[in-house]
């Protein structure tokens, strides 16, 4: 179904820094043809499994593993009922996972709305209008519709592509909570030059 991706040369166990994480994900995302909405639905399923297992934080290696696994993992089917949840407050004091889940769900809905509004092609992979970015009817601004571009922008905006002032960042990332993971995903929507 998907084109084979190049073999990864970076070992998952060696991921400690922002540079390691971003390089691993970039290398693994090459050659994928999975639509972004399907990728996000698979990521949602995988994230829910981690959360049910009691994971309040992810190590950089676990985050990389999750992001890469979503290229091939089964995706939850799209459910139009998710639209009803968009404007509802689920919890008055949402925990990080609730925020992350709402972010993923809203992104999936945005991508569906882009296709329905004719702003993206039927596969949801390309803009159907001549624009660098478009606003989804639900309110999200989008500049990336391919998983590779989405993840590249998320890495650049969240972790500075692993560098500070052009020098490689060798600082350990530490644990990544669900709120930071939600921010990572939100920043993937926009082209990295916009951050």
User: Residue 71 belongs to what domain range?
Assistant: 14-194
DSSP string for residues in 47-115:
HHHHHHTT-SEE-HHHHHHHHHHTTTSPPPPP-TTHHHHTTS-S-SS--HHHHHHHHHHHHHHHHHHHH
Is position 3 within any domain?
no
Is position 100 within any domain?
yes
3-class DSSP state of 133: coil
Domain total of the chain? 1
Is position 2 within any domain?
no
Q: Beta partners for 120?
A: 127
Q: pLDDT of 52-87, one tens digit each? A: 998 899 999 999 999 999 999 999 999 999 998 876
pTM score, whole prediction:
0.86
pLDDT band of residue 90 (cuts 50, 70, 90) is low
16-30, 31-45, 97-111, 175-189: segment of lowest average pLDDT: 16-30
Is position 85 within any domain?
yes
Is position 63 within any domain?
yes
Q: pLDDT of 157-193, one tens digit each? A: 887 754 555 444 667 788 999 999 999 999 999 886 6
For residue 166, the model assigns a pLDDT of 43
Tokens of 20: 């390691």
């Amino acid at each position: 179904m998907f084109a084979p991706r190049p073999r990864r040369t970076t070992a998952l166990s060696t991921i400690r820094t922002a540079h390691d994480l971003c390089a691993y994900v970039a290398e693994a995302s090459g050659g994928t043809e999975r639509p972004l909405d399907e990728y996000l639905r698979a990521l949602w399923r995988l994230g829910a499994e981690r959360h049910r297992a009691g994971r309040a934080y992810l190590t950089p290696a676990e985050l990389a593993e999750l992001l890469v696994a979503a290229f091939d993992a089964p995706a939850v089917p799209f459910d139009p009922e998710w639209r009803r949840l968009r404007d509802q407050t689920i919890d008055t004091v949402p925990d990080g996972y609730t925020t992350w889940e709402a972010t993923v769900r809203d992104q999936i809905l945005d991508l569906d709305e882009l296709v329905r509004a004719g702003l993206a092609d039927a596969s949801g992979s390309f803009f159907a209008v001549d624009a660098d970015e478009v606003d989804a009817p639900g309110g999200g601004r989008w500049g990336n519709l391919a998983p590779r571009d989405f993840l590249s922008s998320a890495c650049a905006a969240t972790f500075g592509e692993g560098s500070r002032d052009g020098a490689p960042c060798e600082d350990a990332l530490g644990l990544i909570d669900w709120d930071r993971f939600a921010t990572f995903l939100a920043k993937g929507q926009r082209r990295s030059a916009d951050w």
